[in-house]
Amino acid sequence: MSGTDRDPEVEAEADLDAETEATAEGGDEPLLAVEGLRTTFETDAGTLVAVDGIDFTVSEGETVCLVGESGSGKTVATESITRLVDSPPGHIEGRVRFRGHDLLAMDAEAIRSVRGPGIAHVFQNPQDALNHCYTVGWQIVEAIRVHEDVSEAAARARAVELLDRVGIANPSARFDDYPHEFSGGQKQRVMIAVALAGDPDLLVADEPTTALDVTVQARILELLSELQAEFGMGVLFVTHDLGVVAEIADRVVVMYAGKVMERGSVLDVFERPSHPYTRALLSCLPGRGNEVTGIEGSLPDPTAPPEGCRFAPRCEHAIGACRRGEQPPETELTEGHGVSCVFYRDGRDPSVVRGNGNGNGSGDGSDAETKRRDASRNGSRSADASTPGTGGAEGSDGG
Amino acid sequence: MGLPRYVAARVVWAAVVSLVIVTITFGLMAAAPNPAVQEAATQAALEGGDPEEAVERERELRGLDEPLHVRYADFLRGVYTLNWGWSDLQNRPVSEALSEALFYTAQYSVPWTVLTLLIGPLIGVYSAANMYSWRDHLATGVAFFGYAIPNFFFGIILLLLFGVYLEWIPVVYNTDVAVFSLENARQLAIPVFVLVTGSIGAIMRVSRNESAEFRNADFMKTAKAKGVSPLRAYAYHVMRPTMVPLSTTVVGQLLAIFLGSSLLVEVVFGIPGLGRLTFDALIAQDTNLVLGTTLLFTFVAVVGNLIEDIVFTVLDPRISYDDR
């Protein structure tokens, strides 16, 4: 493209950097702070609420996992951050602060300068994420040259370097190959190279390994964690695979039907799962008795969500209070560990949910340690590819 | 293997196809009675001579008494050296009549083809980008109108309006004006407009539907996530894959209109081009000239399909050149 339309972008970026410094001095605001994010779609069946007022943060260099079964709104939530959701029909409300800037209030040009160098995305299905008409090199070079005024040759050199870094053998020769000449895992590596082209501060990885062969999944995860350390990126990782979560997450946000059910450090969530939904998810891990049946019932209709707690219709502990009003506000159990469940409020007894003696294989503190180790082991086992099918919430899909 | 070899193979095939067509034409001609011979017989009978003898003389004169393979070789040599015989109607060689007609046809068909190929996909992609808006509906309406209304009828209406009532354009085509002149542009504007509206509809619809598929593709999301502007995303990521299926329909579309509509449009506007020449030759039963014009259209079709094949493979890198 011409130089004339690049200039404002450069300015916008410079602007961004200046303000970033100001806020960095001002206090310890996280890299990304999502507040009250609500994404709706106008459909023929009415207004579909995909994400309904969620909050979460990602700090520099931190890995946050968004967990939940398919259809929980995880993908829409991540794509709302950089406004990749088409609007119309989509409509995004709330605040998304990235390095002190509200991404939702930016004009189209300013948000474009954030996409890539600020926040980069890796998507679920590498088969379709690359344009079949262009060489992979062209697509990496495009990611570089859209933001930076560098020569074709310099961009090419950097693209080859990136291909090499993400583990594509013989990168300078493969630069001119088309996506269909790569395997699924290699395509995902190329996608990661595209994402890294702008040296992002935050990498949003939306189920990057789901579409891949189990033998390849582990290597991609390994690559991502290496790159995270090397580039110092924050990572927002979407998955329904609890084995992966146990392996890579610093903090976990559990989503269900567009709402946050529970959040906390990976230890909190695996050792002291507090929300019935989190507990149900964990019990779907292999070796926990529930992996065959999954969670009974299915996700509520997103055009007409139920009153009260979204999970109440499927929750075995649900009482009258669960089906009234709004989703219960989050109760902070310990520092950073929150749960949205009525049993932790108004003097009710949380042990009903924590299940001393309910049949679902949930336990108290004493076997919580085993649980995390189990989950972690499931993760690494799937990583070693000795078992097909990873321990995850998949079992609950469409139940 | 590779592109050069693929192109070479395709060119050879095109040559084979043209040879087959020429051979079939020769077969039909050889099987049919020659009107000139019959005419000679009738003439001889009327003048009291011997019809048999006259037929013999005429056949000898025209080389029809030679064995079939000699006549075939002679025919082939004639076709491929552009020695296409004598036109009784025009009283000059067929090739000369054709090249002059082609000169006038090219004057409107070149701008027509270029405009169709430029505007059609552009409006189609624009329509897809603004799908179900009033702009899309307007473009769709124009496309259907142009597609539905017969070109010659639309031509007559416009000629009546702009030529007769408003007198903005000359009613009778003037062959004396220079090719690159304002007068020529003015007298060709309406024929070109009529043909473009006729051909643009189908191309616009195909590109609209194809790009509607690609604009929602995952790679468009990737492009957006990379920070690519919408204009660039449409120009590179939607337009390019759209051209692949489009390239397979364009040649057929244009040829159909070239053969059918351009004839009527030439008759309506009085352009002495290939369409008019074919029409006149058919009416006058000038066999050589009819043969010449049909062969010319056939060769245009063969070359058009050749170009289509090559463009298709160049546009879509996933198509392999091997074993084709």
Q: What DSSP letter does each residue of B45-107 carry, written as one string?
A: HHTTS-HHHHHHHHHHHTTTTS-HHHHHHHHHHHHHTT---EETTTTEEHHHHHHHHHHHHHH
Q: Give every CB contact of residue B284 below 8 A, 6+ residues apart in sequence.
A: B88, B89
Q: How far apart are CA B280 and CA B98, in angstroms?
A: 12
Each residue of B70-109: b (16+ CB within 10 Å) or e? ebbeebeeebeeeebbebebbeebbbebbebbbebbebbb
Q: How far apart are CA B268 and CA A331, in angstroms?
A: 83
* Average pLDDT estimate for A164-173: 92
Residues B153 and B176 in one domain: yes
Helix (H, G, I), strand (E, B) or coil at A34: strand
Contact predicate A257/A278, CB 8 Å: no
pLDDT tens-digit map of A323-339: 888 888 888 888 889 99
Name the residue among B227, B240, B317 with its Cβ closest to that of A113. B227
Among A130-139, A290-299, A356-365, B136-145, the least confident range: A356-365
Q: Which domain holds residue B42?
A: 3-93
**End of a domain among B65, B93, B121?**
B93
Contact predicate A354/A341, CB 8 Å: no
**End of a domain among B69, B93, B117?**
B93
Name the residue among B226, B229, B317 with its Cβ closest to that of A178. B317
Chain B segment 227-286 residues within 8 A of A by beta carbon are 227-229, 232, 236-237, 240-241, 244
* Average pLDDT estimate for B27-52: 81
| Distance set, CA A104 to CA A81, A82, A91, A96 (Å) | 8, 8, 11, 6
Residue with tokens 């259907």, as numbered in its chain: B144
Residues B226 and B292 in one domain: yes
pLDDT tens-digit map of B203-224: 898 899 999 889 888 999 999 9
Sequence-distant contacts of B291-297: CB under 8 A, at least 24 apart: B291/B25, B291/B29, B291/B84, B291/B85, B291/B94, B292/B84, B292/B85, B292/B87, B292/B94, B292/B95, B292/B97, B292/B98, B293/B98, B294/B25, B295/B21, B295/B22, B295/B25, B295/B79, B295/B84, B296/B98, B296/B102, B297/B258, B297/B259
Give pLDDT, residue A138.
Answer: 94
Sequence-distant contacts of B148-153: CB under 8 A, at least 24 apart: B149/B197, B149/B198, B150/B264, B151/B194, B151/B195, B151/B198, B151/B257, B151/B261, B151/B264, B151/B265, B152/B261, B152/B264, B152/B265, B152/B267, B152/B268
Among B160-164, B239-243, B254-258, the least confident range: B254-258
Q: How far apart are CA B254 and CA B196, in angstroms?
A: 10
Instruction: Find the helix or strand (DSSP H, E) in which B199 lies.
Output: helix B182-215
Contact predicate B208/B133, CB 8 Å: no
Give the residue from A192, A256, A242 showing the smallest Cα distance to A54: A256
What token pair was written down for B305?
A: 């399909």
CB spacing of B224 vs A84 below 8 angstroms: yes
Domain membership flag for residue B149:
yes
Give the residue from A247, A15, A146 showing the smallest Cα distance to B223: A146
Give pLDDT, residue A372.
Answer: 52
Q: What is the ipTM of this complex?
A: 0.78
Residues B172 and B287 in one domain: yes
Q: Is the pLDDT of residue A386 over 50?
A: no
Question: Taking CA atoms, what residue in A is nearest to B235?
Answer: A1
Q: Residue length, chain A?
A: 399
pLDDT tens-digit map of A293-320: 677 778 888 888 888 898 988 888 888 8
Q: Is the pLDDT of residue A20 over 50?
A: no
Query: Which bin fits A397, alpha (ψ -120 to 50), beta or left (φ > 0)?
Result: beta
pLDDT confidence bin for A373, thresholds 50/70/90: low
**C-alpha distance from B221 to closest chain A C-alpha (Å):** 7
Q: How far apart are CA A306 and CA B101, in angstroms?
A: 76
Q: How far apart are CA A209 and CA A315, in angstroms?
A: 30
pTM for this model (two decimals): 0.77
CB spacing of A1 vs B318 below 8 angstroms: no
Give pLDDT, residue A366.
Answer: 42
Name the residue among A79, A116, A131 with its Cβ closest to that of B219. A131
Among A101-105, A192-196, B234-238, B313-317, the least confident range: B313-317
Name the residue among A113, A129, A180 with its Cβ closest to that of B218. A129
Residue with tokens 């669960």, as numbered in its chain: A322
Give pLDDT, residue B176.
Answer: 82
Instruction: Find the helix or strand (DSSP H, E) in which B152 lies.
Output: helix B151-158
Q: Give every CB contact of residue A103 below 8 A, 6+ residues apart in sequence.
A: A81, A82, A83, A96, A97, A111, A114
Q: How far apart are CA A349 and CA B196, in angstroms?
A: 77
Give the residue from B283, B287, B266, B301 showing the smallest Cα distance to B102: B266
pLDDT confidence bin for A290, thresholds 50/70/90: low
Rg of chain B in Å (alpha carbons): 25
Residues B43 and B183 in one domain: no
Residues B281 and B165 in one domain: yes
Residues B149 and B10 in one domain: no
What token pair was written down for A359?
A: 């049949």
First-residue to last-residue Cα distance in chain B: 10
Q: Is the pLDDT of residue B111 over 60?
A: yes
Q: Is the pLDDT of residue B318 over 90?
A: no
> Residue B317: what are its φ and ψ, rounded to 5°?
-65, -15
Give pLDDT, residue A57.
Answer: 92
- CA B177 to mean position of chain CA atoms: 24
Residues B173 and B299 in one domain: yes
Domain membership flag for residue B322:
no
Q: Which of B219, B220, B239, B240 to mutate to test the interface with A (most CBs of A within 10 A)?
A: B219
**C-alpha distance from B97 to closest chain A C-alpha (Å):** 45
Give pLDDT, residue A200.
Answer: 92
pLDDT tens-digit map of A31-45: 999 999 999 999 888
Pairing of strands A234-239, A202-206: parallel
pLDDT confidence bin for A375, thresholds 50/70/90: low
| Distance set, CA B18 to CA A190, B93, B256 (Å) | 46, 22, 18
Helix (H, G, I), strand (E, B) or coil at A30: coil
A198 touches chain B (CB under 8 A): yes
Question: Taking CA atoms, what residue in B is nearest to A182?
Answer: B318
Q: How far apart are CA B42 and CA B38, in angstroms?
A: 6
| Of residues A90 and B39, more confidently modeled | A90
* Average pLDDT estimate for A237-261: 91
First-residue to last-residue Cα distance in chain A: 49
Instruction: Find the helix or strand (DSSP H, E) in which A202 lies.
Output: strand A202-206
Mean pLDDT (chain A, rounded) = 81
Give pLDDT, residue A177.
Answer: 93
Q: Give every CB contact of residue A299 below 8 A, 6+ residues apart in sequence.
A: A69, A71, A72, A256, A257
What token pair was written down for A76?
A: 């829409």
* Average pLDDT estimate for B275-291: 87
Query: Which bin fits A60, alpha (ψ -120 to 50), beta or left (φ > 0)?
Result: beta
Residues B128 and B267 in one domain: yes
Give pLDDT, residue A289.
Answer: 60
| Of residues A232 and A2, more confidently modeled | A232
Domain count across chain B: 2
> Residue A240: what are its φ and ψ, rounded to 5°?
-115, 10
Q: How far apart are CA B9 and CA B1, in angstroms?
A: 11
Give pLDDT, residue A376.
Answer: 53
Mean pLDDT (chain B, rounded) = 86
> In chain B, pLDDT over 90 holds for what percent of residues?
15
Question: What does the DSSP assignment read for B211-242?
Answer: HHHHHTSHHHHHHHHHT--HHHIIIIIIHHHH
Residues B89 and B105 in one domain: no
Q: Is the pLDDT of residue A15 over 70?
A: no
Give pLDDT, residue B85.
Answer: 84
Residue spans per domain, chain A: 58-84+114-118+202-399, 123-197
Task: For Cα atoms A212, B217, B222, give the angle at the middle one, nearest 5 degrees.
Answer: 70
Give pLDDT, residue B84.
Answer: 85
A349 touches chain B (CB under 8 A): no
H-only helix segments in chain A: 7-26, 74-81, 108-114, 126-129, 136-145, 152-165, 171-174, 184-196, 214-231, 242-248, 266-271, 276-283, 351-354, 365-384
Residue with tokens 């660039």, as numbered in its chain: B232
Q: Is the pLDDT of residue A66 over 90?
A: yes
B219 touches chain A (CB under 8 A): yes
Among A135-149, A369-383, B48-62, the least confident range: A369-383
Residues B89 and B109 in one domain: no
CB spacing of B221 vs A123 below 8 angstroms: yes
Domain membership flag for residue B252:
yes
Instruction: Find the helix or strand (DSSP H, E) in which A260 lies.
Output: strand A259-265
Hey, CA dihedral for A167, A172, A175, A180, is it positive or negative?
negative
Q: How far apart are CA B257 and CA B159, in angstroms?
A: 20
A58-84+114-118+202-399: CATH, from 3.40.50.920, 1.20.120.1200, 3.40.50.2000, 3.40.50.300: 3.40.50.300
Residues B166 and B101 in one domain: yes
CATH number at residue B162: 1.10.3720.10
Q: Which of A131, A141, A196 to mutate to test the interface with B (most CBs of B within 10 A)?
A: A131
Q: Is the pLDDT of residue B255 over 90?
A: no
Q: Give every CB contact of residue B199 below 8 A, 6+ residues apart in sequence.
A: B112, B116, B120, B253, B254, B257
pLDDT confidence bin for A390, thresholds 50/70/90: very low
Give pLDDT, residue A55.
Answer: 92
What token pair was written down for A124?
A: 């679920």
pLDDT tens-digit map of A346-364: 778 888 787 654 434 444 4
Domain membership flag for residue B321:
no
**End of a domain among B34, B69, B93?**
B93
| Of residues A125 and A355, more confidently modeled | A125
Contact predicate A374/A367, CB 8 Å: no
Q: Is the pLDDT of residue A370 over 90?
A: no
Pairing of strands A32-43, A259-265: unpaired
Give pLDDT, residue A153.
Answer: 93
CB spacing of A143 vs B226 below 8 angstroms: yes
Residues B167 and B30 in one domain: no
Q: How far apart are CA A173 and CA A137, in angstroms?
A: 10
Contacts B218 to A, Cβ<8 Å: 123, 125, 128-129
**C-alpha distance from B291 to closest chain A C-alpha (Å):** 43
Contacts B316 to A, Cβ<8 Å: 132-133
| Distance set, CA A378 to CA A110, A264, A267 (Å) | 43, 21, 16
A288 touches chain B (CB under 8 A): no
B5 touches chain A (CB under 8 A): no
